[in-house]
């Protein structure tokens, strides 16, 4: 509770803010990030969309071909059509959470009431605030590599101290406006030792509560 209140009160964007940390991605910082590009290589952060039932994905994506479109009059041209239905949140599908995702003590981010989220979507704190894209300087901290392992075991936590140690080991510094990525905290696939082999992933590796405080200090 004390940590939550301390981090909440440290935000300096005002009570009407609806963008959160996106405020740190100023045009100046984006331009500075672009100047650091060397190879032009792109790397995907997406996981493959799965459509088979598994322990950690009991209700997977449903992909259906809905058939070819009706050709226009006098034309033989048609288009293949399909439909996707997904439960986005979970351990199987890569996704981006909006600020309306988390409710605490009856409110959303910055005191926004929870009734802003309904069955038809969010009327406040939606991902529409990122409609122009998210571009910045990405910093990847590799915690398993720091510890000489391939991955972290289910239930293990990454601490702020571990993030600081990874900074030092990798000769990088996380700063204001950086996009922080922590390398996959659990095993890839569903083999022995993988979180994804555990029923419903009740114990997953992740960041400890102190990590947001460490991130705040970097600013």
Q: How confident is the model at residue 215 (pLDDT cuts 50, 70, 90)?
A: confident
Q: Give the least confident one: 89-93, 94-98, 158-162.
A: 89-93
pLDDT tens for each residue of 33-62 = 999 999 999 988 888 888 888 877 888 999
Which range has the worst mean pLDDT, 85-94, 97-106, 113-122?
Answer: 85-94
Q: Which helix (H) or strand (E) holds 168?
A: helix 160-170
145-194 pLDDT tens trace: 999 998 888 778 899 999 999 999 999 999 999 999 998 666 555 554 45
Cα gap 160→19, rounded to integer Å: 24
Given this model, what pLDDT does residue 76 score?
A: 86
pTM: 0.81
Distances (CA, A) of 54 to 29, 38, 50, 93, 216: 42, 40, 9, 12, 37
Cα–Cα distances (Å) from 102 to 46, 75, 124, 190, in that order, read: 22, 50, 13, 28
DSSP per-residue codes, 27-80: HHHHHHHHTT--S------PPPP--S-BTTBSS--EEEEEEEPPPPTT-----E
Other C-beta atoms within 10 Å of 20: how many? 15
| pLDDT for the residue 107 | 93
The confidence score (pLDDT) of residue 89 equals 86
């Amino acid at each position: 509770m004390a940590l939550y209140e301390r981090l909440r009160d440290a935000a300096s964007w005002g009570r009407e803010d609806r963008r959160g940390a996106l405020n740190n991605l100023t045009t100046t910082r984006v331009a500075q990030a672009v100047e650091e590009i060397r190879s032009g290589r792109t790397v995907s952060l997406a996981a493959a969309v799965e459509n088979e039932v598994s322990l950690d994905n009991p209700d997977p994506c449903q992909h259906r071909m809905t058939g070819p479109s009706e050709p226009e009059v006098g034309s033989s041209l048609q288009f293949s059509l399909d439909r996707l239905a997904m439960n986005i949140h979970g351990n199987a599908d890569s996704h981006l959470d909006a600020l309306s995702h988390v409710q605490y003590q009856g409110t959303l981010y910055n005191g926004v009431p929870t009734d802003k989220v309904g069955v038809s979507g969010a009327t406040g704190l939606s991902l529409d605030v990122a409609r122009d894209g998210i571009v910045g300087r990405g910093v990847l901290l590799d915690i398993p590599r720091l510890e000489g392992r391939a991955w972290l075991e289910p239930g293990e936590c990454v601490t702020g101290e571990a993030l600081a140690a990874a900074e030092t080991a990798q000769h990088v510094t996380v700063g204001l406006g950086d996009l922080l990525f922590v390398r996959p905290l659990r095993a890839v696939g569903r083999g022995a030792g993988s979180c994804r082999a555990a029923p419903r992933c009740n114990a997953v590796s992740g960041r400890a509560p102190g990590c947001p405080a460490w991130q705040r200090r970097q600013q």
